[in-house]
Amino acid sequence: MSKATLQIDGMHCAGCVNAVDKQLESLQGVKSAQVNLATESAVVEYEGDLTMDDFAEAIAKGGFTLVRNDSETVSRAEQTEEREQRKYDTARRNMIWSWVPVVIMVMWMLPMWLTGYMFLGPVVMEIAMITLSGFAIIVPGWETVKSAWRSTRNLSPNMDVLIAMGSLASLSTGFVALLHHLRLAPDFHSFAMIGGMIMAFHLTGRFIETKAKGSASQAIRKLLTLGAKEASVIRDGQEIKIPVNELKKGDVMMVRPGEKIPTDGEIIEGQSSLDESLATGESMPVEKSEGDEVIGATLNINSVLKVKATKIGSETFLNQVIRMVEEAQGSKIPIQDFADRVTRVFVPAVLALALLTLTAWLVFPGFFGGLVEWAASFIPWVNPELGPVALAFYAMIAVLVIACPCALGLATPTALMVGSGLGAENGILIRKGEAIQVMKDVDAIVLDKTGTITKGKPEVTDVLTFGDMDETRLLELAATVENNSEHPLARAVVEAARQRGVEPGKSTGFENVTGKGVKAILSDGAVGVGTASLMEELGVEIAAEPSTQKEQLEEQAKTAVYVSYAGNLIGLIGIADEVKEDSKQAISELKKLGLKTIMLTGDNEKTGKAIAQKVGIDEVIAGVLPDQKSEEIRKLQESGHMVAMVGDGINDAPALTRADVGIAIGTGTDVAIESGDIVLVKGDLPGVLRAIKLSNATFKKIKQNLFWAFFYNLVMIPLAIIGLLHPLLAEAAMAFSSINVVFNSRRLGKTDLK
């Protein structure tokens, strides 16, 4: 299964989303298409050999344009900025030109409103109103009219159909009134001027919405511009400057104080402080030295560094983050499903309702006329003197322009767009939008021990020997076997040996016995390092004293491993993984939120409970093998809990996938962790609190937006049906509805997650 993120130009309402969705899903091989109005993008999952040309053709059938971006961040930033500016300029130009004829019409009508005198007579006046209003509808409003026709032709009517029909219906009354003035038709009130005003209000709303949406999407644009544009590299012994997109893996870069790291790499010379706030949200500088990973676009503060490029282009941390944020912004969450179902039938339903309104007014003029006469006493714009036919058109036009599917279409994606951008700024990457909704129902949080609660950098604290074995020889034997393993405990043993000047020797037949330890064969005997179960498997007897010593170490929150050599127990190594400074406070805050806290560890029960007691965790599930962790999550779910799992994106992948919400701890420059719904770039527990706060704040905004969108339509449409809304007020209210949703979502960006 392949996935493509497509940028689409020309979408501006929920009907547009449905049209694009319909065309994309009609392509053979497309399994799903998630079209997002706020980001004007689509995430398509497909099988087979579909190309960008295929997608472009399908999108064009719906009346829209596929925007093709270069893959490099800098050029994408420039293209995105240019595209946003072009949209803004077009919206502003259309708004200004729509108001020119409206202002002329108002100035022309002003003497008549003030004195009752009609300048140049009714025929010339009506022709002028039709001409000026027609200009506003056809010239600056041409894209709206064209979009309306296109969507109707594709059987996916959008909001522009309502605006175009409302404007043109108003304009058409001017032609009937003109025939009356020429004595070719009965008396009829003209709403021609209102047609142009409807379009002017609509284009003004479109301009404000474009500006607001541009501000709401500033987080992704900010990410796009963070990267360095040039790099100083050493080639053929000379230092030269090249564009970042020309870097190759293995290039050695010179990074001076005040410069950004051009791309992800490893320090091969030098020591400096780096500002990594763009990656982790942490404002304090981080000390880096030879051998450490550095993240592209982070700022070198005080010393010259030589850095070897290890990742370029789409592999870099920054590009991974941008891709994840874009996918999160383009995703849909369960609460949006109902809104989507409504918007699919909204425009046809409103068209039917408008026709029904016109018919009802013409069939029951007495009933509706009585309502209008009653309302005229306290609503200044209600005019019962218009006559039944004019009032029927008045109500129909108001119904057409008041209905607003846009607010429904924007309610969820604008909040997700701002929320995911805010998360990225604070080191929280939302991979799956549905996690935002599920998180609010989580009542149990399962925490992996190593690297989540503890620092994940264990150190040897105790070396106990038995018989005539000495500590140095014990560490040499243990390190020789452990040197074949990447496990954190193994690395600790190897490091302890090297600190004593002992290098690991050679071994053969290395075997990692899952959940028990490791074993290998040396030139003069077999060595095992691990649990009592491994010793039993190797036929090694454990006396009472070593067993007691092991228990004592475990009661001190240390992991104790036996070491055997040539069938005999020769020692015991105590390893401690220090608890992170902020773990206890974070767990206390999680419990204040009413969350049950559970530690899941492969370590023994005594060590697990000792650490749990230090940090205040409620429950410990110990001795769990990696492939058993997902089973423990399942048991919690079956007991009625909604579970969030926090752990390593690699070793804990099955458990993260099984949990209702998987929160993966980021590992350096690799944040593309497929098993996590949410990825914490900075692997700390306060990040979990920030993620919960972000999820709750984002979902709250989504609910507010959806409430406003539904409430607005439920209240305003009935008022329009009974003739209590002037069409201009209806259009202004419709524009305000969408703008309100966007501005409400923008306020989410000011949320303090600290």
Instruction: Output 242 or 219, whichever has higher pLDDT.
Output: 242
Say what the pLDDT of residue 18 is. Answer: 81
Give a yes or no: residue 534 inside a domain.
yes
One-letter amino acid at 394 equals Y
Of the pLDDT bands very low, low, confident and very high (cuts 50, 70, 90), residue 223 is low
**Pair 177, 31: CB distance under 8 Å:** no
Instruction: Output 350 or 603, whichever has higher pLDDT.
Output: 350
Give a yes or no: residue 134 inside a domain.
yes
Are 107 and 215 members of one domain?
Answer: yes
For residue 15, the domain's CATH number is 3.30.70.100
Give a yes or no: residue 227 inside a domain.
no
Say what the pLDDT of residue 674 is. Answer: 63
Beta bridge partners of 596: 444
Of the pLDDT bands very low, low, confident and very high (cuts 50, 70, 90), residue 476 is very high
The sign of the torsion formed by the CA atoms of 461, 467, 473, 479 equals negative
Give a yes or no: residue 46 inside a domain.
yes
For residues 660-682, one letter each, b for 16 or more C-beta atoms within 10 angstroms of the residue's C-beta and e for the rest, the string is bbbbbbbbebbbbbebbbbbbbb
For residue 531, the domain's CATH number is 3.40.1110.10
**Average pLDDT for 613-625:** 88
Q: How far apart are CA 397 and CA 169, in angstroms?
A: 7
Which tokens hold the place of 50? 């579909």
Are 691 and 653 members of one domain?
Answer: yes
Are 618 and 561 members of one domain?
Answer: no
**Average pLDDT for 676-690:** 86
Are 539 and 609 members of one domain?
Answer: no
Say what the pLDDT of residue 219 is. Answer: 60
Give a yes or no: residue 26 inside a domain.
yes
Query: Which positions are annotated as active-site residues?
Result: 448
Are 87 and 52 members of one domain?
Answer: no
Q: How far apart are CA 239 and CA 33, in angstroms?
A: 47
Looking at 578, 612, 647, which one is the last position of a domain? 578
**Average pLDDT for 616-629:** 85
Neighbours of 81 (CB within 10 A): 14
pLDDT, tens digit, 9 for 90 and up, residues 51-96: 888 899 988 888 888 887 654 444 555 666 677 788 889 989 999 9
Q: Which of 3-12, 42-51, 627-636 is predicted least confidently?
A: 3-12
Looking at 578, 596, 627, which one is the last position of a domain? 578
* DSSP structural state of residue 187: -
Which tokens hold the place of 29? 């091989």
Are 201 and 344 members of one domain?
Answer: yes
For residue 440, the domain's CATH number is 3.40.50.1000
DSSP H or E stretch at residue 620: strand 619-621
Are 459 and 573 members of one domain?
Answer: yes
pLDDT, tens digit, 9 for 90 and up, residues 254-267: 999 989 999 999 99
pLDDT, tens digit, 9 for 90 and up, residues 280-295: 666 678 889 999 999 8
pLDDT, tens digit, 9 for 90 and up, residues 230-245: 899 998 888 999 988 8
Say what the pLDDT of residue 245 is. Answer: 84
The candidate with the shortest Cα–Cα distance to 668, out of 368, 375, 279, 369, is 279
Q: Is the pLDDT of residue 569 over 90?
A: yes
Which tokens hold the place of 645? 């799992």
Give a yes or no: residue 754 inside a domain.
no
Are 444 and 387 members of one domain?
Answer: no
pLDDT, tens digit, 9 for 90 and up, residues 477-486: 999 999 998 7
Q: Is the pLDDT of residue 185 over 70?
A: no
Are 585 and 686 members of one domain?
Answer: yes
What secondary structure does DSSP assign to 111-131, as a single string?
HHHHH---TTHHHHHHHHHHH
**Pair 527, 478: CB distance under 8 Å:** yes
User: What is the percent of the chain where pLDDT is above 90?
Assistant: 32
Are 745 and 728 members of one domain?
Answer: yes
Are 121 and 201 members of one domain?
Answer: yes
Give a yes or no: residue 87 inside a domain.
yes
With vertex at residue 672, the alpha carbon angle to CA 331 and CA 254, rounded to the nearest 5 degrees, is: 125
Are 304 and 429 members of one domain?
Answer: no
Instruction: Output 676 or 127, whichever has higher pLDDT.
Output: 127
Looking at 698, 721, 741, which one is the last position of a domain? 698
Q: Is the pLDDT of residue 370 over 80?
A: yes
**Residue 79 CB partners (closer than 8 Å, separation 6+):** 67, 69, 70
pLDDT, tens digit, 9 for 90 and up, residues 138-179: 999 999 899 888 888 878 787 788 889 989 988 998 888 888
For residue 279, the domain's CATH number is 2.70.150.10
DSSP H or E stretch at residue 486: none
Q: How far apart are CA 344 and CA 136, in angstroms?
A: 29
- List the domain range (segments joined by +) for residue 17: 2-70
Q: Which of 157-166, 206-215, 414-423 is predicted least confidently?
A: 206-215
The most confident of the ranges 88-102, 322-336, 625-639 is 88-102
Q: What is the pTM of this model?
A: 0.74
Give a yes or no: residue 225 inside a domain.
no
Q: Under DSSP, is residue 455 helix (H, G, I), strand (E, B) or coil?
A: coil
Query: Domain count of the chain?
Result: 5
